[in-house]
């Protein structure tokens, strides 16, 4: 009967793998529903960006306090997962701490490191809960954070506490059991925190301790499996997507550059000069600009999945700060929500199904779009290089070119530009009049 | 005053060193016209051979493109590129960050390739080359100046240092606002907001920014964009501080510092 835990563990591992594969494939497929975008720039530059922004968290350090707290959780997450390797081997083979003996002193070092980082992560987690629930940092309390986004953020933090508590008690109890000479509990060396934390368990009988150690072990690994399946539904997906998103970030073009529309460029060129040479466009878009998520570039869709709703963009947005409806974070959250909806529709009702809804109108309103000053503050602030501005501008293009929907004053400006080559109603012949005054 | 236009140069079989792209604001807006004048005085003072396009210049298309009207943008751009390429223009300087951004970053894909400088960069080069020496005991000595970053110069094109370097020669006290450089706050005019009423909110963007500027108690708010200039000037008026705090473009400050223009 001693093999039952092994079988259970293997089945759990397999089931997690299958479900995770389906969930993450859904996300990948959804991102690829976006329009093609030709990548420019060098691959070596892309790797550099990934190392700088995702691995190195360069932009996080624009804001020191959250950056350091975040770093604790991030580093501990990466390092703790090394212990998961051992847990998986132990789980399948029925061994216990299989790496302790072969690694010796290095094992003690690694587990001690994990303990210290876990403790730091635990402190950071409490600090983050404080910032969200007690201090109520402004960027966490905007309207789009009400409901699920607020719960999601707290759930992840509570979850973090459970995982860290499990790993710290697992190591401490293990240490205590080894000290008592309990069979199957190998020497892990003097664990930096475990040797002291183990004293907490010194008055408990060995049989109970073994049960407690098993409970902590299972909580930890089952927790990680659950976490893996929870993340695709959560803002926490950034822990994976920050990497490809930084890799595929726009490069070689200054932030002020707006995407060209070759179809319109060609049309205007041939209109002005019928003999003009134009390059044929493969797969011209069905409409100008974007009405729904599938009209956006796949990179914008990856942006939406990479967003962890930190709100640095919204906190920096001049429109949002002055009480306008626009929130760049909401633009990203809406894009993701709508994309998930489109994805589910495809899976349940087929590719041709039209639910009559769209990103523009049903999720993002004209009022929000029209408040944008295109100042790039949101793009500048995003730690993982998301561009809410790109989406805003594509939606504006659809509004103006496909729906002829522009504020009266803009229509007047367009007329002036067309007739006088200036946004105001001046005679173009008077362009040099300023010189007379000089 | 007679300002050389490109067609004159061509008629004489010559090319100017640089084309001064005046922009719509610089041409038509009364306040921005003064900046145009100041920059022309600087060019003349430094004996730079320059020309303007005059009536052949049209809007670069920036507000149309950002409002979503790509057709109109492409029309305006195609006309400008035809004129610029027709004259064989290589070097352009402009006093407007929006024109600067469009000419520099968006015309190349459309067939217009030029070396484009914003006047802050151009003036910095003149100073570095020793062509624009500042007088000792400048008129701005002891004045507090705060520079307001234009989004299309700063974040859009990473030009943060040139305008500050230019201001340094004034021998004034430069003070930074709470939000500056890559964190600089927008004046509220970009993205074609200049040409419509603001959306409903609890404050105007330019008021928020002006309040921030006034916090550092400046004598002068320095701008490098005609639209920022308008927005900040309006903000200062709204706060009834127009007697104590002046809004100037960096070109005006340099022109005044060199006695090329009266100090107001």
Query: A288 with A218, same domain?
Result: no
Q: Does A51 touch chain B (CB under 8 A)?
A: no
Query: Which residue on chain A is closest to B209 by alpha carbon?
Result: A318
Picking from B73, B92, B125, the residue at the C-terminal end of a domain is B125
Q: What residue has token string 């928020």?
A: B208
Burial class of residue B9, CB neighbours in 10 A (0-12, 13-18, 19+):
middle
Quick check: is B263 in a domain? no
Domain total of chain B: 2
Quick check: is B229 in a domain? yes
- Chain A environment of B67 (Cβ under 8 Å): 396, 400, 406, 410, 413-414
pLDDT band at A438 (very low <50, low <70, confident <90, very high): confident
Quick check: is A256 in a domain? no
Query: A219 with A274, same domain?
Result: no
Contacting A residues, span 305-334, partner chain B, CB-CB under 8 Å: 316, 318-319, 321-326
Query: A242 with A161, same domain?
Result: yes
Picking from A220, A247, A274, the residue at the C-terminal end of a domain is A247
Picking from B97, B125, B153, the residue at the C-terminal end of a domain is B125
Query: A268 with A238, same domain?
Result: no
Contacting B residues, span 161-200, partner chain A, CB-CB under 8 Å: 182-183, 185-186, 188-200
Quick check: is B178 in a domain? yes
* Cα gap B84→B78, rounded to integer Å: 10
ipTM of predicted complex: 0.96
Amino acid A285: pLDDT: 86
Picking from A192, A213, A247, the residue at the C-terminal end of a domain is A247
Query: B85 with B161, same domain?
Result: no
Query: B183 with B251, same domain?
Result: yes
Q: Which residues of A32-61 are buried (b: 16+ CB within 10 A; e: fewer)?
A: ebbbeeeeeeeeeebeebbeebbeebebbe
C-beta separation of B220 from B145 below 8 A: yes
Quick check: is A436 in a domain? no
Contacting B residues, span 111-140, partner chain A, CB-CB under 8 Å: none
Interface test with A, best of B199, B209, B251 (most A CBs within 10 A): B199
Q: Which domain holds residue B246?
A: 134-257
- Chain A environment of B28 (Cβ under 8 Å): 422, 424, 426, 430-431
Out of B28, B186, B207, the one facing A373 most closely (by C-beta) is B186
φ/ψ of B258, rounded to 5, equals -100, 10
CATH code assigned at B179: 3.40.50
Query: B104 with B143, same domain?
Result: no
Query: B97 with B212, same domain?
Result: no
Q: Which helix (H) or strand (E) holds A83?
A: helix A64-93
Q: What is the pLDDT of residues A61-75, one digit of tens each?
A: 998 999 999 999 999
Q: Does A377 touch chain B (CB under 8 A)?
A: yes
CB contact under 8 A, B155 and A255: yes
CB contact under 8 A, A255 and B156: yes
Query: B107 with B169, same domain?
Result: no
How many other CB atoms sit within 10 Å of the CB of residue B130? Answer: 7
Give long-range contacts, CB 8 A cutoff, 24+ apart: A116-119.
Answer: A116/A192, A116/A193, A117/A72, A117/A75, A117/A76, A117/A79, A117/A80, A118/A76, A118/A80, A118/A164, A118/A167, A118/A168, A119/A164, A119/A168, A119/A193
Q: Which domain holds residue A379?
A: 262-420
Quick check: is B264 in a domain? no
- Chain A environment of B103 (Cβ under 8 Å): none
Mean pLDDT of B195-223: 97
Q: What is the pLDDT of residues A148-162, one digit of tens each?
A: 999 999 999 999 999
| Tokens describing residue A182 | 């309990």
- The answer on pLDDT for A3 being more than 90 is no
- Chain B environment of A318 (Cβ under 8 Å): 185-186, 188, 205, 208-209
Query: A228 with A326, same domain?
Result: no
Query: B138 with B252, same domain?
Result: yes
pLDDT band at A37 (very low <50, low <70, confident <90, very high): confident
Query: A306 with A187, same domain?
Result: no
Domain total of chain A: 2
Q: What is the pLDDT of residues B30-44, one digit of tens each?
A: 999 999 999 999 999
Out of A256, A428, A434, the one facing B36 most closely (by C-beta) is A434
Q: Does A132 touch chain B (CB under 8 A)?
A: no
Percent of chain B at pLDDT exceeding 70: 98
Q: Does A276 touch chain B (CB under 8 A)?
A: no
Cα dist from B122 to A28, B41, B223, whole Å: 48, 14, 15
pLDDT band at B259 (very low <50, low <70, confident <90, very high): confident
Q: Which of A370, A368, A342 has its CA nearest to residue A356? A: A342
Q: What is the pLDDT of residues A248-266, one digit of tens each?
A: 998 878 999 999 999 999 9
- The answer on pLDDT for B1 being more than 90 is no
Phi-psi domain of B136 (left: phi exceeds 0; alpha: psi -120 through 50; beta: other): beta
Cα dist from A317 to A181, A274, A389, whole Å: 62, 44, 11
Q: Does B79 touch chain A (CB under 8 A)?
A: yes
Quick check: is B202 in a domain? yes
Quick check: is A49 in a domain? yes
Picking from B125, B148, B176, the residue at the C-terminal end of a domain is B125
Amino acid A80: pLDDT: 86
Out of B36, B75, B208, the one facing A322 most closely (by C-beta) is B208
C-beta separation of A244 from A27 below 8 A: no
Query: A58 with A93, same domain?
Result: yes
- The answer on pLDDT for B137 being more than 90 is no
CATH code assigned at B85: 3.40.50.1860
* Cα gap A397→B246, rounded to integer Å: 38
Quick check: is A434 in a domain? no
Q: Does B60 touch chain A (CB under 8 A)?
A: no
Q: Does A12 touch chain B (CB under 8 A)?
A: no
CB contact under 8 A, B196 and A430: no
Query: B156 with B249, same domain?
Result: yes
Query: A329 with A410, same domain?
Result: yes
Listed in sequence order, the DSSP H helices in A204-311 are 206-230, 238-247, 262-272, 298-306
Query: A327 with A374, same domain?
Result: yes
Q: Does A95 touch chain B (CB under 8 A)?
A: no
Query: Which residue on chain B is closest to A312 by alpha carbon?
Result: B183
C-beta separation of B223 from B95 below 8 A: no
- Chain A environment of B252 (Cβ under 8 Å): none
CB contact under 8 A, A373 and B5: no
Query: A64 with A135, same domain?
Result: yes
Contacting B residues, span 189-248, partner chain A, CB-CB under 8 Å: 189-205, 207-209
- Chain A environment of B37 (Cβ under 8 Å): 434, 437-438
Interface test with B, best of A142, A268, A380 (most B CBs within 10 A): A268
Q: Return the SS3 of B222.
A: strand
Q: Which of B55, B60, B62, B256 has its CA nearest to residue B166? A: B256
Query: A237 with A347, same domain?
Result: no
- The answer on pLDDT for A1 being more than 70 is no
Q: Which of A396, A135, A420, A363 has its CA nearest to residue A261? A: A396
- Chain B environment of A288 (Cβ under 8 Å): 70
> What crossing angle do the helices spanning A4-31 and A64-93 adopt, rounded to 10°?
130
- Chain A environment of B78 (Cβ under 8 Å): 268-269, 272
Query: A114 with A13, same domain?
Result: yes
């Amino acid at each position: 009967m001693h093999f039952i835990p092994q079988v259970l563990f293997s089945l759990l591992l397999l089931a997690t793998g299958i479900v995770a594969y389906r969930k993450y494939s859904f996300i990948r497929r959804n991102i690829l529903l976006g329009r093609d975008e030709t990548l420019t720039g060098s691959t070596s530059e892309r790797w550099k960006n990934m190392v700088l922004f995702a691995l190195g968290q360069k932009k996080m350090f624009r804001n020191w306090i959250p950056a350091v707290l975040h770093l604790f959780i991030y580093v501990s997450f990466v390092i703790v997962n090394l212990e998961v390797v051992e847990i998986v081997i132990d789980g399948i083979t029925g061994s216990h701490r299989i790496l302790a003996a072969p690694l010796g002193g290095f094992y003690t070092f690694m587990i001690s490191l994990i303990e210290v980082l876990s403790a730091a992560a635990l402190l950071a987690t409490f600090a983050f809960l404080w910032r969200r629930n007690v201090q109520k940092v402004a960027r966490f309390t905007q309207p789009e954070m009400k409901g699920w986004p607020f719960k999601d953020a707290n759930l992840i933090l509570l979850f973090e506490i459970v995982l860290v508590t499990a790993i710290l008690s697992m190591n401490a109890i293990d240490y205590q059991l080894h000290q008592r000479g309990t069979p199957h509990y190998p020497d892990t060396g003097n664990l930096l925190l475990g040797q002291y934390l183990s004293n907490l368990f010194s008055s408990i009988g060995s049989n109970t301790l073994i049960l407690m150690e098993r409970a902590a072990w299972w909580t930890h690994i089952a927790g990680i499996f659950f976490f893996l399946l929870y993340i695709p539904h959560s803002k926490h997906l950034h822990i994976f997507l920050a990497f490809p998103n930084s890799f595929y970030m726009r490069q070689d073009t200054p932030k002020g550059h707006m995407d060209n529309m070759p179809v319109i460029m060609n049309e205007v060129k041939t209109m002005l000069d019928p003999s003009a040479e134009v390059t044929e466009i493969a797969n011209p878009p069905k409409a100008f600009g974007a009405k729904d998520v599938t009209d956006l570039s796949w990179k914008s869709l990856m942006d939406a999945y990479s967003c962890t709703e930190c709100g640095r963009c919204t906190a920096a947005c001049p429109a949002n700060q002055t009480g306008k409806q626009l929130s760049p974070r909401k633009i990203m959250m809406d894009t993701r929500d709508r994309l998930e909806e489109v994805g589910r529709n495809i899976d349940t009702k087929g590719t041709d199904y039209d639910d009559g809804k769209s990103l523009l109108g049903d999720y993002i309103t004209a009022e929000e779009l029209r408040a944008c000053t295109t100042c790039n503050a949101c793009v500048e602030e995003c730690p993982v290089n998301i561009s809410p501005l790109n989406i805003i501008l594509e939606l504006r293009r659809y509004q103006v070119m496909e729906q002829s929907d522009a504020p009266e004053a803009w229509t007047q400006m367009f007329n002036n530009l067309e007739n006088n080559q200036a946004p105001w109603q001046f005679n173009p012949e008077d362009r040099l009049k300023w010189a007379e005054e000089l | 005053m007679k300002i050389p236009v490109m067609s004159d140069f061509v008629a004489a079989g010559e090319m100017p060193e640089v084309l001064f792209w005046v922009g719509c604001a610089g041409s038509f807006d009364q306040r921005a016209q003064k900046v145009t004048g100041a920059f022309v005085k600087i060019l003349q003072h430094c004996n730079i051979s320059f020309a303007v396009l005059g009536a052949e210049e049209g809007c670069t298309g920036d507000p149309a493109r950002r409002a979503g009207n790509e057709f109109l943008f492409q029309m305006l751009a195609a006309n400008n590129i035809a004129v610029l390429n027709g004259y064989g223009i290589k070097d352009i300087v402009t006093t407007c960050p929006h024109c600067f951004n469009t000419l520099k970053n968006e015309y190349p894909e459309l067939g217009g390739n030029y070396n484009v400088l914003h006047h802050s960069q151009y003036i910095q080069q003149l100073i570095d080359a020793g062509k624009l020496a500042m007088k000792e005991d400048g008129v701005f000595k002891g004045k507090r100046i705060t520079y307001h970053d234009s989004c299309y110069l700063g974040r859009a094109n990473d030009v943060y240092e040139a305008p500050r370097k230019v201001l340094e020669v004034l021998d004034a006290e430069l003070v930074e606002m709470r939000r500056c450089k890559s964190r600089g706050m927008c004046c509220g005019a970009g993205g074609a907001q200049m040409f419509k009423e603001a959306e409903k909110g609890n404050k105007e963007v330019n008021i928020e920014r002006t309040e921030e500027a006034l916090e550092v108690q400046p004598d002068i708010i320095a701008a490098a964009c005609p639209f920022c200039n308008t927005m900040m000037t309006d903000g200062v008026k709204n706060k009834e501080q127009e007697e104590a705090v002046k809004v100037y473009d960096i070109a005006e400050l340099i022109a005044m510092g060199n006695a090329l223009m009266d100090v107001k």
